[in-house]
């Protein structure tokens, strides 16, 4: 018995590329033959049989195969410089490919928002000759990928960023950090709050925000608890939606106490209700300073009317637009989500409300004081915090 012929291992991209070359009408005959040689060799056909099939001598077939083994598909299909067609892609051709890749396909008449490698290669093949880059009319997906990787371009991916829409972002951030800096000076080396002096104005500082859209979800069947046969809680995929609730919460940054209000909505009415909770909680002679975002309900006409009845009682330090990360209560909300809301199932919406209040009770048994550290060393604590008391209706 004769020895079994060796094969070459073509990738899926290479195989598709060679088959495309075989079908193309504008490709030179020698390129079609060479593509056929590689495809036949990948099937394990012997060199002599390939030579008979393509009408070439054995030496030419071996040369084509060796060129593939040395440098890949394009090295095998196209002659090197000085011997006819140049297999190298020029910088101008690469720049044209990158320019196409840096455009949205939807702007070039396609339905897609971002490129796939197949769609990008198809577009390049179709319009290369028209653009004066005939060589690129047969470029493969793998070669396009290599060119984009070398340029560090990823047109198939989307990364998100936040546009700075607040011209006073830096100033507002500085003001918030100034609040945190002055707070840090109210604690001693052991982390204990230093009491206010008898003649000193007491200011309670709270970080406040809302967490709307908390879903009350019920199981359709009871969970199965872990046992000898099941390592985890087992839950049926189906569930029922019972509605949503909103959590309004503040963290006292001097004591760590978390103060909740759970309602169906978070309009001006609920916000004012929360302010009333704070008003009844702290001594009448003290001031209450809230760090919060500039949501419309925080400065609405209804809110201003209430604040006008409490002159000098409340002060507000607003975070800049898209600066919610500056608000310490956001860390508390993340903790709440991880520890209590994740995977929660209830039988009624009221049960969800009561369990949230229970969580706050548990947290307040051993309150944690939240401290801000980022960039505090750059802040001069002797500056004066800019506050807004909101007693006057803004002009339209």
**Tens digits of residue pLDDT in 159-216:** 987 777 788 898 999 999 999 999 999 999 888 999 998 888 999 999 999 999 999 9
Place domain 169-378 in its CATH homologous superfamily: Ribonuclease H-like superfamily/Ribonuclease H (3.30.420.10)
CA distances from 383 to 121, 177, 181, 183 (A): 59, 11, 10, 13
Q: Are 333 and 208 in contact (CB under 8 A)?
A: no
Q: Do the bridges between strand 314-318 and strand 287-292 make them parallel or antiparallel, or are there none, so unpaired?
A: parallel
Tell me the sheet residues that pair with 193: 187
User: Residue range 13-21: average pLDDT?
Assistant: 86
- Both structure tokens of 67: 């060129």
CA distance 127 to 134: 9
Residues 6+ apart with CB under 8 A from 290: 205, 206, 207, 208, 250, 314, 315, 316, 317
Locate the domains of the chain by residue range.
12-77, 91-150, 169-378
Tens-place pLDDT, residues 293-334: 989 999 999 999 999 999 999 999 999 988 888 999 999 999
Q: How many CA atoms lie within 13 A of 25 on its CB side?
A: 0
Global confidence as pTM: 0.66
């Amino acid at each position: 018995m004769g020895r079994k012929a060796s094969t070459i291992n073509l990738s899926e991209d290479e195989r598709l590329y060679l088959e495309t070359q075989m079908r193309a009408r504008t490709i030179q005959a020698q390129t079609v033959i060479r593509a056929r040689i590689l495809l036949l060799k990948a099937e394990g056909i012997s060199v002599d049989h390939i030579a008979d099939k393509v009408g070439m001598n054995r030496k030419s077939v071996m040369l084509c195969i060796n060129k593939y083994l040395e440098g890949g598909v394009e090295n095998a299909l196209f002659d090197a410089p000085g011997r006819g067609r140049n297999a190298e892609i020029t910088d101008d051709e690469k720049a044209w490919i990158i320019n196409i890749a840096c455009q949205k396909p939807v702007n070039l008449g396609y339905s897609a928002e971002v490129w796939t490698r197949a769609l990008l290669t198809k577009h390049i093949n179709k319009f290369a000759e028209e653009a004066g880059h005939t060589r690129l009319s047969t470029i493969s997906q793998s070669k396009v990928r290599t060119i984009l990787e070398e340029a560090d371009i990823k047109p198939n991916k989307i990364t998100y960023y936040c546009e700075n829409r607040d011209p006073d972002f830096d100033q507002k951030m500085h003001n918030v950090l100034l609040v945190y800096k002055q707070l840090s000076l109210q604690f001693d080396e052991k982390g204990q709050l230093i009491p206010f002096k008898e003649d000193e104005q007491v200011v309670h500082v709270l970080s406040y925000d809302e967490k709307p859209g908390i879903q009350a979800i019920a199981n359709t069947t009871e969970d199965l608890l872990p046992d000898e046969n099941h390592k985890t809680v087992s839950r049926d995929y189906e569930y029922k939606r019972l509605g949503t609730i909103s959590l309004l919460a503040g963290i006292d940054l001097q004591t760590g106490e978390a103060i909740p209000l759970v309602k169906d909505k978070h309009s001006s009415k609920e916000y004012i209700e929360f302010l009333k909770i704070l008003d009844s909680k702290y001594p009448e002679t003290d001031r209450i300073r809230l760090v919060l975002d500039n949501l419309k309900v925080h400065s609405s006409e209804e809110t201003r009317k209430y604040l006008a009845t409490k002159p000098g009682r409340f002060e507000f330090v607003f975070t800049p637009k898209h600066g919610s990360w500056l608000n310490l209560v956001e860390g508390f909300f993340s903790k709440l989500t991880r520890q209590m809301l994740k995977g929660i199932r209830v039988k009624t919406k009221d049960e969800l409300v009561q369990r949230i209040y229970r969580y706050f009770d548990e947290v307040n048994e051993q309150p944690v004081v939240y401290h801000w550290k980022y960039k505090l060393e750059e802040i001069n604590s002797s500056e004066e915090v800019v506050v807004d008391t909101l007693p006057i209706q803004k002009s339209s």
